[in-house]
Amino acid sequence: MMYDMTVYESEDARNRDPADAERFDASCRALSAAGIEFGRVMCSSPDDITDPEASAIVAERGMGALPICIFQGVDISVGSYPSDQDLADFLDVPDGVLSVDRTKGPAMGNDLPPSCSCRPVR
């Protein structure tokens, strides 16, 4: 299944910062209860990473770069789990689901207004 967001993680990454891993797990449970899903891949080797951006980061920095969060092909966090604010904003989470409310729309996507709304000169 294809997701806009995928988090690549490892047991070593979870053990390195267990409090952040627990916070992220709780956020994932809240998102799932609200019907919001994204990819989570537990990696034991670089071969488990299918995203080109995440794969390039691991090739350069090693598995210690995990966790890596990719949104629409771009990394939004490396070496730590995405914050609740990032989850709320990038996944367009309704207010009240996570510990924070959404503050802005997704940073990616093709929903930017035209650069100029000028009329043509006659």
For range 58-66, the mean pLDDT: 96
| Confidence label for 114 from pLDDT (cuts 50, 70 and 90) | very low
Tell me if 46 is assigned to some domain.
yes
Number of domains in the chain: 1
Is the backbone peptide bond immediately before 67 cis, with ω within 30 degrees of 0? yes
Span 15-19, average pLDDT: 96
Query: Model-level pTM?
Result: 0.81
Which domain covers residue 82, as residue numbers? Answer: 5-90
Cα(111)–Cα(122) distance, rounded to whole angstroms?
Answer: 29
Q: For position 27, which CATH number holds? A: 3.40.30.10
Structure tokens at 48: 């488990």
Predicted confidence at residue 74, as pLDDT, reads 93
For the chain, what is the mean pLDDT?
Answer: 87
pLDDT tens digits, 76-99: 999 999 999 999 999 999 999 998
CA dist 100 → 18, 44, 67, 75, 86 (Å): 21, 32, 21, 21, 10
